[in-house]
Structures are given as C-alpha cells and as structure tokens.
Amino acid sequence: MKILVCISHVPDTTSKINFTNGDTEFDTNGVQFVINPNDEFGLTKAVMLKEQQGASVTVVNVGGTDAEATLRKALAIGADEAIRINANPTDGMFVAKQLAEVVKNGGYDLIIAGTESIDYNGGMVPGMMAALLGYNFVNSCIGLEVTGSEAKVVREIDGGKETVSTSLPLIVGGKKGLVEEKDLRIPNMRGIMMARSKALAVNEPTGNETATQAVKFEKPAPKSACKMISPDNIDELVDLLHNEAKVI
C-alpha cells in the first residue's frame, strides 16, 4: 500500500502574528513554523500503518524552501520520502490541483490530509482534491482501519460519530482522534540522522492560476482591561453587566 500524507507548513500557535504591505501579506519575521497539527495526526497514523502492514509513506507540501525543514521533520518521524511543490500556497484550489497531480503520477492508495490547517482554516483542500480525482472521501476522520483494499473509517458528525466502510483509493481529512496525542511521534536522533539521506524531491507546479486573492488581513481587537469588582458589591456588578457590558 502506498500512502501519501499532505503536510501544511504553519505558524506555531504561540507565534505573534503581524502583517505587512498594508495588511495584505503575512509577516513571517520571527515566526516559528511547525507541521500542521491535524496533519501530524495523519502522519502518525500513516507511520503506524507502515509498521503494521509494510506500507510506504510519502509526505508532500506545496511551499517554498523554508518548508523543507518541516518535511525533514516528517521524514525523521518515519516517512520514507518527501515531495515539495515549489509554489506559494495562497489559494486552496491551486493547492488541491498540485496535490491531485502528485496523486495521479504516484499511484497512491491512501491519501491522508488534515481536515483543515490552523493558519487559514479553509477546510477545503481534501474535498477539492477528492473531487478532482474522483476518489472516495471521508472528512473529520477520527478513526481508520485498512484491510487489503477496504477501509473502515470513523468520522465526527453533529452530536456523535459515524462508522463507514469504503474502498481504496481513498482520501481522508484527519484530525485529533485519528491517533491519540500520546501516540504522536517525536523524532529521535536516529530518525533525524536517517532523514538527512532520505529523498526530498522538488517539483515545479502545474500552472499558476489562482481562484482567490487575499485583499486584506485584520487582527482581532485587543482585549480590554480587566475590571475587578468586590464580591461584596453585587449591585455594582449587576449595573456594569447591564449598562456597560450589556450582557443582561
């Protein structure tokens, strides 16, 4: 079985976010980038399937040279090879088309992507990729078992979860629950050393058309100062909630 894991190169959640050029571009200065958390759950699941069934695992990213450190970390975690599509991932449809080309040329049986990335939170790439390829697709995936050419998938739905059976080739949009947090792999020294010699191919993109464009970014309003009220002064608290906060 050939598995392809789609990796997004995203800012760490502790990063301070700023914008440049009139708030039209994200400022990467001083920002630490990591594997998108939803993708990391998918990568760990792929490595587990590799260990259990002898599958091969390839990771792919649409991005610039700065994303190679993230891909090398994925190789250190246990992926066999990596592919970087040399393009700026500013548009979901563009990214989906690039990934679909990789899938078609690579003959992958199982494609695991994160349900969404934590930077733009678009949540569109896995579904678009499945539509472009005509593959079976399960989103919000929190459980996956593969036996031969068949898969049993558990996905989140409103108010619960649903178990479905389908066949390969299959695209899943994974998230926390696909594996537990305690099962996430931390690269060890041996994995880091081996990652240096694993193949990392750089492919040029197919076309450069984009369907959308970011016009402007705007940060949330800063939190206002916290006002402390004595627990003995209930009347003042009620007055402030009613007349200032306007929540009652």
Q: Which ranges in 78-223 belong to alpha helices (H)?
A: 92-106, 125-133, 189-195
pLDDT at residue 225, as a whole number: 81
Q: Could you read off the pLDDT of 208-238 as tens digits, one per residue?
A: 788 888 889 988 888 878 888 888 888 998 9
Helix axes 37-53, 68-77, angle to 10 degrees: 40
Say if residue 35's pLDDT is above 90.
Answer: yes
Pairing of strands 160-167, 170-174: unpaired
- Percentage above 90 pLDDT, the chain: 69
Which pTM does this prediction carry? 0.87
Residues 13-26: what's their mean pLDDT? 88
Q: Which CATH architecture has domain 2-220?
A: 3-Layer(aba) Sandwich (3.40)
Query: Would you state the structure tokens that stand for residue 222, as one six-digit string?
Result: 């800063």
Amino acid at position 207, single letter: G
Q: Measured between alpha carbons, how far is residue 247 from residues 4, 71, 94, 233, 237 in Å?
A: 49, 47, 43, 18, 12
Q: Give the domain ranges of the chain.
A: 2-220
Compute the average pLDDT of residues 86-99: 93
Report the distance separating Cα 113 and Cα 98, nearest Å: 14
**Residue 151 confidence (pLDDT) above 90:** yes
pLDDT digits (tens, 9 = 90+) for 188-213: 898 999 999 999 999 999 987 888 88
Lowest mean pLDDT among 53-62, 72-81, 167-176, 200-209: 200-209
Q: What is the residue type of 34?
A: V
Q: Give the pLDDT confidence score for residue 212 in this predicted structure.
A: 84
